[in-house]
Structure 1
Amino acid sequence: MNEPFVRSGNRHRPLSEARARAARFAGALQDLGIGHGDRYAIVMRNEISYLEANLGAAAIGAVPVPVNWHWTGTDLEHLLTDSGSKVAVVHSDLIPAVEAHMPPGMRIVEAGVPAEIREVYGLGDVPLTGRHPVMDDLIDQTEPAVATDQAPPLAVIYTSGTTGLAKGILRDPVRPEAVPGMMRSLSDLFGLQPGYTTVLPAPLYHSAPNINMISAAALGMNIIIMPRFDAEEFLRLVDRYHVDSVQMVPTMFVRMLRLPKEVRDKYDVSSLKSVVHAAAPCPPDVKRAMIDWFGPIVKEYYGGSEGGAWVQCTTEEWLAHPGTVGKPAGGAAIRILGPDRQELPVGETGVIYGRPADYWPDFTYLNDDAKRREIDGGDGFITVGDVGRVDEDGYLYLSDRLNDMVISGGVNIYPAEIEACLLRLEGVKDAAVFGIPDPEMGESLAAHVELVPGAKVTADDVRGHVQRSLARYKVPKVVVFEERLPREDTGKLFKRRLKEKYRPAEGNA
C-alpha cells in the first residue's frame, strides 16, 4: 500500500512527515510556554501547515483555537481575548490585523503564505514580516515534544456569531473509554476508512471540517486540502485522485450544479462512496439533483459543535421522507419542547433539543456558564436554537432558527420557508428574510435579495412570487436588492449585519 499523503495545491507531503513536523512544532509551542490545557489560536487559511499546527496540540495536551481568518475588528479582538490564547499562529498577510487586536502578552508565530494560497486569493508576493518567529524555522530547530499521557480537551470552536459575538465552546477531554465509540461514529458519519482518500473543501476553522481532518489523519487516510473551494477544481480532484469520501455544505452543491453540463460530464465521480452534508439547510430540489448525479451516497446530519451529530439521514431515508434531516442515531436523542419547556406531540413545531451520544464530551461556553445554562433542557438535552418538528416515524424537519422567527401581529413566521420560496424565482441567486420593527404589527418582513448577474427582477416580482406561493402575511413588506449577501463559505448567513440597518438611531429607540 502506498504511504498516506497530505496535499494542498501542487504541494505533496507524506502524512508521516506532516506528523513528525507537528511533533516538532509541539516542542516549539512548549518553548513558548504552551502546556497541557493551554490554548493557542490558529489564524490561517486551508493548507498543509494548518494540519500540522492543529496536530501539534495532541502531543502536549494543548488546545487549538481555530479562528475564522475573515474576522477583523471587534469580532477578532473578542475571540483573541476571550479565548485566553497565549500564542497565535498566523499567515503573514493576516498578521497586521492580529497585531492590531491581540491582547497584551500574546505571542505570534508567523506562517509563510504558500503559493496555492497566494494564487487562489490573488495575493501576489507576500514576504515574511520579520517581526515574529517563523513556523518552519521553529520546526527545523526544535526537537519533538515528549508526548503527554493526559487526554487533551478538544479544540475550542467559536460559533459563527450570526446573531452576536461568537461564543467559545470549551469541551471536556474525551474519556479514554469513549474514544473507540467516537472514532467508530465519526468514521461512519464522514465515510472514513484507512486507505481512503478524502478532500477537505470547507474552511478548517469550522468544527466539522476540523474534526474530519483530524480523524482522517488518525486513520492514516490520504488528505487533499482545498485552499479555497472551486466547483470544477473539486470535480477534477475527485477524478484525478479517486476520492472516496467528502464532507460538504449545500452552497457547494449549488455551485457545482451551476456548472455547464458539458463541464460536469468531463469528470468521473464514480469513486465517491460517501458525500455527507450539514451546516445549513439544503433546498430539496438541490439535494435531489445531487442524488441524481452522485447516486445514493448523499448523507446528511444535524446537530451542532456543542453536541456533535444528533440525527443522520441516508439517501434512501431522505427519498422516503423528503425534507427531513434525519432521525437520532448512535445513541443520541431528540425532543421538541414548547415555550413552557414541555415536550410537544408528534407533528407540532417547537424548539429542538438534542442529547448527544454517551461518548460525546460535556462542554460549557468559555467565560459564560450562564449562556450554557440558558440552552439546557434537562436530562442532558441542549438546544442550539433551531425550531422544527418530528414526524410519526421519528424523522426531524427543520423550520428555522429560533432567533430568526418573526412575530408579526401575533403570528409566528419562519423566514426559511420564504427564503426557499424566493430561491425558486428565476433570476434570484440568494435571499435573506428577517423581521424589522413595525409600529403597528410589532415586526414586518424584509427580504434582501441577491440576483444572478444580468437578471431583471423587481420588488413587485418578488412580492408577487411569494403571494402566489404562500399566505399573504408571508409577503415581504420591504424588498432590497444586494450586490452580495454576507454569507460564510459554509453557507451561514450573517443576518445581524443586515438587521443593523433597521435599528433605531441612538436616542430614538
Structure 2
Amino acid sequence: MYPGAYDPVRTAVVTADGTRTLTYGQLEERSLRLADHLRAAGLRRGDHIALLCDNDPRALEVYWATMRSGLYLTAVNHHLRADDAAHIVRDCGAAVLIHSGTLAELATEVRELAGGPALVLDLDDGTYEKALADACAVPPDRQPLGADMLYSSGTTGRPKGVRTALPDGDVRDQPTTYTVVFQTMYGFGEDTVYLSPAPIYHAAPLRFCGVVTALGGTVVLMDTFDAEAALAAVERHRVTHSQWVPTMFVRLLKLPARVRERYDLSSLRIAIHAAAPCPVEVKRRMMQWWGPVLYEYYSSTEGNGITFISPEEWLRKPGSVGRDGFLGTLRICAEDGRVLPAGETGTVYFERDERPFQYHGDEDRTREAQHPDHPNWTTTGDIGHVDEDGYLFLTDRKAFMIISGGVNVYPQEAEDVLVLHPAVADVAVVGVPDAEMGESVKAVVQVEPGVVPGPELARELVDFARERLAHYKAPRTVDFAERLPRTPTGKLAKARLRESYRRG
C-alpha cells in the first residue's frame, strides 16, 4: 500500500484540466529521491516538513517522501495572513519549507517572520528539481512510516497543531489508520477515480488523496472549486468517488437547471461529504439530483473519532451524521461530565483506549479537550445528541451557542433555513450584545449577484426564517456583508465575525 506497489505507467494524480499528470512510477521515484535528499540534509525520524502549496500534483510527492521517512508533514493554509502562517511554521519546528513558485513571496515573508527554516525548496525555481536530480532513487532497507501534523482551521482561535504518535512499521507493509478505515467504508481501490475539489492543505483532502494513492487509484485535483467546472471534471475523468462540503452543494444546486443537466454524472458511485453540518433540505435535493450516492462522515482534524452514515440510513434518519463503531465510542456528556441518555443534548466525546492526540506544545488546550474524569475521552467542542438507535445528530459548536434571554439558541438552525432563500449566497448567524436579552440573534448575509440588499430584503429574510423556525430561533435583525469569512473547506470563521460585533 504505497506508490511502488502499482503499475508505474498508471496515472496517480492528474489536474482537472488534464494539463499536469503524475504516474505511479514518477510518484515512487520522485518521493524516494526527495526522501533521500531530506536524509542527506540531516532530517531524522520525528522531524517536521512544512508545505506551502496550492493543489499541485507534486504535493503528493512531498506527502509520500515524509510518509516513507518517519517525518511529520505540516501542510500550511496559504490563505492565512503571513504572521499566522509563520506561527505554524515556527510552532511545528519545521526543518524544511517546501513551497509553490506562485507562493514564493508569501514563503519569503513567512520564513523571515518565523526565523527559519534554513532549508527551503521552491517547486518551480529549480531548487526542488535539482535536489531530486542529485538524490538517490534506490529504496533504503528501512522506510519508517511518517504522519501528518496538521493545524486546526482556527475558526475559534489561532490554529492548533494536532500531534499524534508516529506509527510503528514500514510504509511498504503497514497501512495507515485512515487507509484501513476509509478503504473499508468506501471501497477505494485501483479502479477509483477520486475528485478533490478542496485545498489539500486541509486534513480531509490531504488524507483522502493519501489513501487513494496508497491503494492505486487516481486523484483528480481541482485548482479551486467552481460548481460547473466540478461537474465537467466528473464527466471528463469518469469520476467514481468525490468529496464535498455543504457549501459546495449549495453552489451546485443554485446552478441553472440547463447547466446541471448538461453533464453526465453516471460514473459517480460515492460522493462523500463532511466538514460542516449539511442542511437537511440541501442534502435531500442533492439526493434527488444525484441519486443515493451521498455518504456522510463526522470527524475532525484531531481524528479522535468518527461516525458514518450511508444514503439509505440517512433517508431513515434525516439530519443524522451516523453511528460510531469504526474509531472510538460515542459519549454525550453534560457540563459536569455525566453521560447523558439518548435524546439529551450535550458535548460530543469519543472514547478511545488511549489518548488519540495532543495539541502540540499546549497541554492546557489538550486538557480542555479531555473529559474531566476520563482522559482518553476527547472532544473538539461540538454538541449534539444520539437517538435511541445510536445515531448522532449535531446541534452546533459549543463556542457558537447564543444565550438570549436565558434560552440557548443554536445558530446552525437559522443558517440552514436562510441559505435556501434565493437571494442568499451565504449566511452566518451570530449572537450580538443586547442590553435587554444579553444577546440577540443576528444574521449576516451575503446576497446573490444582482440582488440589492436593504431594509425590505432584511424584513423578508426575518419573516422567511420565522415561518420555518420558532420565533426565538429566528434572527431579530439582518446585516449585509460583501463576503463572509469562510475557509476554503467551507467552515465559517464565525469567531472573527462575532468578535467584530462585540467590539462594536
TM-score, normalised via structure 2 length: 0.90
- Give 1:494's aligned amino acid: A
Residues 221/44 of structure 1: CA separation in 2 closer, same or farther (3 Å cut) = same
Unaligned 5+ residue runs, structure 1? 114-127
- Equivalent residue of 1:57, what SS? helix
Please say if residues 90 and 108 of structure 1, whose CA atoms lie closer than 8 Å, have aligned partners that are also in contact. Answer: no
2:17 is the counterpart of 1:6 = no
Question: How many angstroms apart in 1 are the aligned matches of 2:208 and 2:440?
Answer: 41
* 1:86 aligned residue: 95
Question: How many angstroms apart in 2 are the aligned matches of 1:254 and 1:185?
Answer: 28
2:155 is the counterpart of 1:162 = yes
Q: What do the CA deviations read for 1:398-426 (whole angstroms, capped 9, x no partner)?
A: 11000000112221110101111212333
* 1:433 aligned residue: 429
2:42 is the counterpart of 1:46 = no
* 1:398 aligned residue: 394
Displacement of 1:303 after TM fit?
1.5
Please say which of residues 284-293 and 184-193 is displaced more in the overlay. Answer: 184-193
Pick from 208, 214, 221 the counterpart of residue 212 of structure 1: 208
Please say if residues 376 and 383 of structure 1, whose CA atoms lie closer than 8 Å, have aligned partners that are also in contact. Answer: yes
* 1:468 aligned residue: 467
* 1:352 aligned residue: 348
Q: What do the CA deviations read for 1:112-155 (whole angstroms, capped 9, x no partner)?
A: 46xxxxxxxxxxxxxx4xxxx62122112222375474644420
- Equivalent residue of 2:247, what SS? helix
Structure 1 runs of 4+ aligned residues shifted over 6 Å read none
Question: How many angstroms apart in 2 are the aligned matches of 1:361 and 1:342?
Answer: 20
Question: How many angstroms apart in 2 are the aligned matches of 1:335 and 1:178?
Answer: 30
- Give 1:155's aligned amino acid: D
Please say which of residues 92-101 and 209-218 is displaced more in the overlay. Answer: 92-101
Displacement of 1:243 after TM fit?
1.6
* 2:117 aligned residue: 106
Question: How many angstroms apart in 2 are the aligned matches of 1:486 and 1:182?
Answer: 30
* 2:130 aligned residue: 137
Please say which of residues 7-16 and 154-163 is displaced more in the overlay. Answer: 7-16
- Give 1:25's aligned amino acid: L
Question: How many angstroms apart in 1 are the aligned matches of 2:360 and 2:327?
Answer: 27
Displacement of 1:308 after TM fit?
5.3
Pairs within 5 Å for 1:25-64: 25-64=34-73
2:361 is the counterpart of 1:367 = yes
Question: How many angstroms apart in 2 are the aligned matches of 1:186 and 1:361?
Answer: 21
Displacement of 1:108 after TM fit?
5.0
Please say if residues 42 and 90 of structure 1, whose CA atoms lie closer than 8 Å, have aligned partners that are also in contact. Answer: yes
Displacement of 1:348 after TM fit?
1.0
Question: How many angstroms apart in 2 are the aligned matches of 1:291 and 1:65?
Answer: 35
Please say which of residues 314-323 and 234-243 is displaced more in the overlay. Answer: 234-243
Residues 21/153 of structure 1: CA separation in 2 closer, same or farther (3 Å cut) = closer
Question: How many angstroms apart in 1 are the aligned matches of 2:116 and 2:326?
Answer: 43
Pick from 339, 343, 355 the counterpart of residue 343 of structure 1: 339
* 1:69 aligned residue: 78
Q: What do the CA deviations read for 1:186-234 (whole angstroms, capped 9, x no partner)?
A: 2133441123221222111111111111111111112222122222222
Please say if residues 321 and 393 of structure 2, whose CA atoms lie closer than 8 Å, have aligned partners that are also in contact. Answer: yes
- Equivalent residue of 2:332, what SS? strand
TM-score, normalised via structure 1 length: 0.89
Aligned-residue identity in percent: 37
Question: How many angstroms apart in 1 are the aligned matches of 2:379 and 2:141?
Answer: 34
- Give 1:292's aligned amino acid: Q
Pairs within 5 Å for 1:62-461: 62-102=71-111, 103-112=114-123, 128=125, 134-144=127-137, 147=140, 149=142, 151-176=144-169, 179=175, 182-307=178-303, 309-330=305-326, 332-355=328-351, 362-377=356-371, 378=374, 380-457=376-453, 458-461=457-460
Question: How many angstroms apart in 2 are the aligned matches of 1:60 and 1:218?
Answer: 15
Please say if residues 191 and 274 of structure 1, whose CA atoms lie closer than 8 Å, have aligned partners that are also in contact. Answer: no
Question: How many angstroms apart in 1 are the aligned matches of 2:381 and 2:311?
Answer: 26
* 2:3 aligned residue: none
Please say which of residues 173-182 and 186-195 is displaced more in the overlay. Answer: 173-182
Please say if residues 24 and 139 of structure 1, whose CA atoms lie closer than 8 Å, have aligned partners that are also in contact. Answer: yes
Q: What do the CA deviations read for 1:231-262 (whole angstroms, capped 9, x no partner)?
A: 22222222222221112212222222222222
- Give 1:171's aligned amino acid: T
Please say which of residues 400-409 and 195-204 is displaced more in the overlay. Answer: 195-204
Question: How many angstroms apart in 1 are the aligned matches of 2:158 and 2:138?
Answer: 35
- Equivalent residue of 1:271, what SS? coil
Displacement of 1:481 after TM fit?
0.2
Question: How many angstroms apart in 2 are the aligned matches of 1:472 and 1:180?
Answer: 48
Displacement of 1:364 after TM fit?
0.7
- Give 1:369's aligned amino acid: E
- Give 1:488's aligned amino acid: T
Please say if residues 383 and 396 of structure 2, whose CA atoms lie closer than 8 Å, have aligned partners that are also in contact. Answer: yes
Question: How many angstroms apart in 2 are the aligned matches of 1:94 and 1:67?
Answer: 11
- Equivalent residue of 2:308, what SS? strand
- Equivalent residue of 2:167, what SS? coil
Please say if residues 250 and 278 of structure 1, whose CA atoms lie closer than 8 Å, have aligned partners that are also in contact. Answer: yes
Displacement of 1:32 after TM fit?
3.1
Unaligned 5+ residue runs, structure 2? 1-6
Question: How many angstroms apart in 2 are the aligned matches of 1:76 and 1:348?
Answer: 40
Displacement of 1:309 after TM fit?
5.0
- Equivalent residue of 1:330, what SS? strand
Please say if residues 406 and 415 of structure 1, whose CA atoms lie closer than 8 Å, have aligned partners that are also in contact. Answer: yes
- Equivalent residue of 2:33, what SS? helix
Q: What do the CA deviations read for 1:59-109 (whole angstroms, capped 9, x no partner)?
A: 221111011111123311211111111111112232222322332241353
- Give 1:480's aligned amino acid: D
Displacement of 1:472 after TM fit?
2.9
Please say if residues 370 and 377 of structure 2, whose CA atoms lie closer than 8 Å, have aligned partners that are also in contact. Answer: yes
- Give 1:258's aligned amino acid: K
* 2:501 aligned residue: 502
Question: How many angstroms apart in 1 are the aligned matches of 2:201 and 2:177?
Answer: 24
The Cα RMSD (Å) is 2.3
Residues 475/361 of structure 1: CA separation in 2 closer, same or farther (3 Å cut) = closer
- Give 1:333's aligned amino acid: T
